[in-house]
Amino acid sequence: MANSKSAEKRVRQIEKRTVRNRAIKSEIKTLQKKTLTAAEGGNADEAKTAFSAFTSAVDKAAKRNVINDSKAANMKSRTNKAIKPA
């Protein structure tokens, strides 16, 4: 348990950030699944638009340090590789 006012404030800040980061990561996973599902279904146009939204979300998360830059690059690369045959 926090003993000082500043430590209590840090705990509050961490809780807010945790909720926000969890929501952003969840949104990224949802967009990635949407992209892969569209690619598996053979819908190339839908896959491209979904991939565009996915890359945008991943780049924003990396910019805000929700995920590491390298992880963002890996996620985009793997997803792009998966939708290329479609």
pLDDT of 86 = 57
What's this model's pTM, rounded to 2 decimal places?
0.86
For residue 11, count other CB atoms closer than 10 A to its CB.
11
Three-point CA angle 54, 68, 76, nearest 5°: 30
- pLDDT per residue over 43-69, tens digit each? 889 999 999 999 999 999 999 999 999
Domain ranges (residues) in the chain = 28-86
User: Phi/psi class of residue 65: alpha, beta or left (left: φ > 0; alpha: ψ in -120 to 50)?
Assistant: left
